[in-house]
Structure 1
């Protein structure tokens, strides 16, 4: 391995460590607790080293968002692949999405609530975000119904799931009714 390759590998490993540490800290204490000072202390690098990788917290949030979007896409695809038929796929998608939001609050917030400096629904939207939407659209496109584009239907269904996830996490919806909410949402789809 050349010196340049080794340096690139070490840089990549430091970036992964910064992102993982930021996510861990945000999961434990919330995003407000994530500062470059705390990150530098936890990973035992100086703040200038952090800034050599990320210009600040916003870019770190963006990196966590991209990582989380990739994980969410994998979870949704795994859940829907195991389901038999359109109704079962849509139900599995909803459950996987809500489960991801519940189990990964810092990543979920980075993707959907916080400003990570990422473009959404644009040509320059990063691939992990496009792929997360595609993972939803793959199952929802087949049930969009006549006259409704799969992308538009996916946006509306996603917005419903996002509302359930966000309101449940905020304590405004009782979590014990989440499964019933999924059933109601899926039951209202006219093509299932």
Structure 2
């Protein structure tokens, strides 16, 4: 009989396989192609095994989204370290463009993930903290609210860019203008 830790490892590996396969399938064919039936076929487990790990497709999408927030926090940190608020904005928009299925899992698909509350998962808080750290030096108002406004504007640009709803040749100009609106000019001491 397998040991308890061995069973736990096998369970964790199955769960990771399900999440990885859902992500790969969504990236290749879109989230509409990701169903429990299709996932079960892809991972070679029965649907009841999937349901033993996840309550439903929303829970699977939430697990994918959590991975995305881990990635996004790193991308935002690197962008912020490279060029402050401007670098962070570019990094955010680039991530959304390069990972559309992941971005959908994080921000478009329905999940039970809660933002801005005590039960918000740590990885969501980390990604928000990166945006907050970049916005805070540039605002004289409530930094968290300003961060939500900045983030909302980035999300709007990412979504509208992807849907080809705005002039594609002006993507960079829009991102630059957003940053410029947040950057408080230095006040001369004299």
Q: What is the alpha-carbon distance in structure 1 between the residues aligned to residue 79 and residue 152 of structure 2?
A: 19
1:86 is aligned to none
Deviation at 1:190, TM superposition (A): 4.6
Question: Which of 116, 128, 147 lines up with 1:133 in the alignment?
Answer: 128
2:32 is aligned to 32
How do 1:8-19 residues align onto structure 2 when only pairs under 5 Å count? 8-19=8-19
2:3 is aligned to 3
Question: Which of 96, 101, 104 lines up with 2:91 in the alignment?
Answer: 96
Q: What is the alpha-carbon distance in structure 2 between the residues aligned to residue 46 and residue 163 of structure 1?
A: 39
Query: Contact 1:63–1:116 (CA<8 Å) still a contact in 2?
Result: no
2:188 is aligned to none
1:53 is aligned to 53
Where structure 1 has 5 or more consecutive residues not aligned to the other structure, the ranges are 84-88
Q: TM-score, normalised by structure 2?
A: 0.92
How do 1:147-186 residues align onto structure 2 when only pairs under 5 Å count? 148-186=141-179
**Given the alignment of the two structures, is residue 121 of structure 1 paired with residue 124 of structure 2, yes or no?**
no
RMSD of aligned residue pairs (Cα, Å)? 1.3
Q: What is the alpha-carbon distance in structure 2 between the residues aligned to residue 113 and residue 149 of structure 1?
A: 26
Deviation at 1:189, TM superposition (A): 2.4
Q: What is the alpha-carbon distance in structure 1 between the residues aligned to residue 57 and residue 114 of structure 2?
A: 17
State the number of aligned residues. 184
1:76 is aligned to 76
